[in-house]
Structure 1
């Protein structure tokens, strides 16, 4: 049965999901109509986006004939297109909804997300992009395992990929569920199931080609929408950021005063949003959190995978340059949107519940601001864009998880590199379905979690496990298989374990008494990343086996290939 035949029922199923969503939205929660009216504009724009992307998937399915097409779009994406797609992949629900919410809640301190997410890109530009393109084929494990024993390093790389993908997926699914629940009055679990089903259709049939074009379209829509929001906020203040900040300070002071604070305390609360200390309370947490966001970028499997979609190392470098520009511009906008939410949303009773909290929670700050500055039509547009943002990122994540299982575990470990393209493709599609189901289940289970925090956790794990192994295997000649695998697993296990016993999970999520957390800091990266690097270094220098000598001897050939690209010929990067 060919792909096109398989695609027809799937497209029909997805179309039914889209129609069902609109129908459910129209009739859902009728008993609470006075609380939340159905937003027909948003429903129409959602439906248009879904139909448009399904046509892209149908077009991409005709082009997806081999594993190289499925994983890397056949290496035929240009640097500019890939830069936009990377930006689309990176500007996730946590970036758009989470950072603006953090700035609204914490003011200046919320910028640690913007700065942390952005400053990881020079690491990728100068250290990783060309080397990745020259050494890799489909996944970052191809790079890490270039001169090492394949089986252990592939098992580690697949483990690291799947753990990072799982935490990242939870955040996106929760964001999607909250957004659709707020706008359409749908039950949360129905919203999550719809997102999961659509994502599976995009990845199953369109592969990397469909995912890339969905990400490019979504990046353009998001940049346009965020630009308009920021423009409208600044226009209200005569394009004076100083006036916007002054108004924000005044509003925060007024809210503190209304909460029963003395005039001195209220004034201090207002001024506090212009300085540090509201979000990250101590220097160790600040350094650790910043390290997670900065170095985690260079360990995210779905971002690293994008460098194999371009035809050459030069295009890989160009794509990072474009991506950095778009992402940097976008994060400037989230800063304005966050302060705009303070001035337009926090004082508007239409956006607040009976207790004075934001309808839908703080994550919905940007969505409410869209309504405030652009009315119902712009609210519909931004809602559709936020949905597109989540869908595109989820598709990219699922693709990287599926490739880790099919290419690294099945193709290399189980079949010892002898799997044919059709078999790998079949395993990849089975994995996509499994990951889609897991994402839906986890999305429902973690409904109450903060999405920006869940993503920062994924970054901490990527910085502690994937990044040290990638960095040391490519740049340190004495790194060995044993060092990379043991050090990598130490970083992976320690980052997950320290996160579980930190206050944000041990106390806030698991409900243990305040002060009972075994690890006192917000993010584990400073400690777990150090454990990962030290583990790789220690076990590599202690390794005197025959395999270690072979690993070290292979460094020169790896260096020549990574610096020159000799041997990395062909459009698919083989």
Structure 2
């Protein structure tokens, strides 16, 4: 594929050039903290819905899930189901209430009826942790993709490319803020869904538009698995532990979305709760259509490329979609899909970076360090931009370490952290009038600590050939995804911290409940 490196790089460079123009144009209207963090709340529900799908359909969705389906069939498609069903939790329990009660970050909601400084510090800590795990996946995807497309197989060469991707991401965030990032996500969503649609129709056309014929070809071209690729258990059915691992993964995926800070922050870019609700409906439709495409793309890769070729490619499991594109349309389609995959990574990491930097600047700097006295435009936004540079540097280093991992799996770890550290506290804050500061701190720090500790001592990090550190051996916790343990522990700690504390502000909860359910006074909360 080295002969095609110039074409692939040229298509990607064209995308970068176009999006940078868009970001520069958007930056002209980025003057205040509201512009930088929430795009001036100027996007409509459909626009935000497309941007949410662009933010959510990450490299894991496009590269990781297609590869997982190609290798493991039915078990790989379970990622798609979990990622999609999770949106019902966000729609029914979180989106509208969060938009009514918050300003820029998750910390705004959690601290509304509690002591500001400790709760904001905890919310910022969990936001940074979730963003870090998610960034690991995206940057690892960048390394594998470049290895495949440009023929750079040395780890040093891939590290350089990961650094370039990280530098571009920092540039998007520094220049365009949330408005520029949102337009990049909209462009990327249109390209990604269109590209996946073209490939889906192309694959089906090769088999007479008959899905059954395609599935039969996938079975024939998967000699090691055979018909097992069509049924459950190929990846998660070998033992009782693997079945528990699947249950843990499913819980993390379904509950994680409603706790992802970069998704929650998108609800603040629309002018009202009604538009927030509309944006989630649009996102569900677009994401659902895309995940149906992944089913065809995954089995198409198994049929036309083959599991062994995918495993032996430089990007391994993450190479399935690009290899399928090459098998279908040669270097031109491969170059386009490569550019789309890069666009996917850039858009998602930009969204993650602005969310993490906003949380630090707004929650830690402006409200904890400065006690609310920071200047709206100059100080807070400057700190956010400096934080974006730091986060970008950390993401580059982490991506180099995680290079080669299955990115769908790495994202699942981020979902587990979000579901453990954030979701219990958000739900308790919105729905339990007894909930207090102690409960919030116990839930956030306890859930985060338990989840990260279990990840460190899990097979995801050491003990197996597929682990992040395959030569090490400290996998004392048997499950690769800790959600089955860490999420219930976080809910329990939130309850325990609350009942052991004497602090209860039912009057403040009543105010928050009225605002969350009706939207009354919510504009005052977003303009003070």
TM-score exceeds 0.5: yes
CA distance in 2, matches of 1:347, 1:279: 14
Give the CA deviation at 1:107. 0.5
Q: 2:454 aligns with which of 489, 493, 498?
A: 498
Secondary structure at the aligned position of 2:360 is classed as helix
Q: 2:64 aligns with which of 98, 105, 108?
A: 98
Tell me whether 1:399 sits opposite 2:369 in the alignment.
no
Which deviations, in whole Å up to 9, do the C-alpha atoms of 1:330-388 show, x marking residues without a partner? 0110111000000111189xx67xxx723431211100101111222111111000000
CA separation of 1:167 and 1:347: change in aligned 2, threshold 3 A: closer
- Which residue is 1:523 aligned to? 481
- Which residue is 1:11 aligned to? none
Give the CA deviation at 1:570. 6.6
In structure 2, stretches of 5+ residues that fail to align are none
Give the CA deviation at 1:571. 11
- Which residue is 1:469 aligned to? 425
TM-score by length of 1: 0.87
Give the CA deviation at 1:573. 6.1
Tell me whether 1:116 sits opposite 2:75 in the alignment.
no
Q: Are the counterparts in 1 of residues 103 and 525 from structure 2 also a CA contact under 8 Å? A: no
Q: 2:493 aligns with which of 535, 548, 567?
A: 535
Which deviations, in whole Å up to 9, do the C-alpha atoms of 1:50-106 show, x marking residues without a partner? 111111111111110000000000000100000000000000001100000000110
Tell me whether 1:357 sits opposite 2:312 in the alignment.
yes
Q: Are the counterparts in 2 of residues 309 and 572 from structure 1 also a CA contact under 8 Å? A: no
- Which residue is 2:411 aligned to? 455
Secondary structure at the aligned position of 2:523 is classed as coil
Q: Are the counterparts in 1 of residues 193 and 290 from structure 2 also a CA contact under 8 Å? A: yes
- Which residue is 1:375 aligned to? 330
Q: Are the counterparts in 1 of residues 110 and 119 from structure 2 also a CA contact under 8 Å? A: yes
Q: 1:206 aligns with which of 172, 176, 183?
A: 176
- Which residue is 1:556 aligned to? 510
Give the CA deviation at 1:501. 1.4
Which deviations, in whole Å up to 9, do the C-alpha atoms of 1:471-525 show, x marking residues without a partner? 11111111110011112211101111111112222313333678x6321123111
Tell me whether 1:127 sits opposite 2:87 in the alignment.
no
CA distance in 2, matches of 1:488, 1:41: 47
- Which residue is 2:2 aligned to? 36
Give the CA deviation at 1:138. 0.5
Q: What are the equivalent positions in structure 2 for 1:108-507 lying under 5 Å apart?
A: 108-186=74-152, 187-253=157-223, 256=224, 269-281=225-237, 282-346=242-306, 357-421=312-376, 422-507=378-463
Give the CA deviation at 1:222. 0.3
Give the CA deviation at 1:181. 2.6
Secondary structure at the aligned position of 1:507 is classed as coil
Give the CA deviation at 1:126. 1.1
Tell me whether 1:511 sits opposite 2:466 in the alignment.
no
CA distance in 1, matches of 2:220, 2:393: 47
CA distance in 2, matches of 1:488, 1:271: 44
Q: Are the counterparts in 1 of residues 5 and 151 from structure 2 also a CA contact under 8 Å? A: no
Which structure has the larger Rg? 1
CA distance in 2, matches of 1:411, 1:150: 11
Secondary structure at the aligned position of 2:295 is classed as helix
Which deviations, in whole Å up to 9, do the C-alpha atoms of 1:249-298 show, x marking residues without a partner? 12212xx3xxxxxxxxxxxx301111111222343222211010111101
Give the CA deviation at 1:43. 2.0
CA distance in 2, matches of 1:435, 1:375: 37
TM-score by length of 2: 0.95
Q: Which moved more, 1:97-106 or 1:170-179?
A: 170-179
CA distance in 1, matches of 2:232, 2:187: 36
Q: Which moved more, 1:182-191 or 1:198-207?
A: 182-191
Q: Are the counterparts in 2 of residues 311 and 570 from structure 1 also a CA contact under 8 Å? A: no
Which ranges of 4 or more aligned residues in structure 1 deviate by more than 4 Å? 570-574
Secondary structure at the aligned position of 1:522 is classed as coil
- Which residue is 1:6 aligned to? none
Q: What are the equivalent positions in structure 2 for 1:7-22 lying under 5 Å apart?
A: none
CA separation of 1:499 and 1:571: change in aligned 2, threshold 3 A: closer
In structure 1, stretches of 5+ residues that fail to align are 1-34, 257-268
CA distance in 2, matches of 1:203, 1:504: 31
CA distance in 2, matches of 1:513, 1:210: 42
Which deviations, in whole Å up to 9, do the C-alpha atoms of 1:220-242 show, x marking residues without a partner? 00000000111011111111111
Q: Which moved more, 1:301-310 or 1:516-525?
A: 516-525
Which deviations, in whole Å up to 9, do the C-alpha atoms of 1:519-574 show, x marking residues without a partner? 11231111100110000011101211xxx123x33111100000011111279566
Give the CA deviation at 1:44. 2.0
Q: Which moved more, 1:471-480 or 1:173-182?
A: 173-182
CA distance in 1, matches of 2:448, 2:174: 29
Which deviations, in whole Å up to 9, do the C-alpha atoms of 1:433-463 show, x marking residues without a partner? 1111111111112223221121111100000
What count of residue pairs does the alignment treat as equivalent? 516
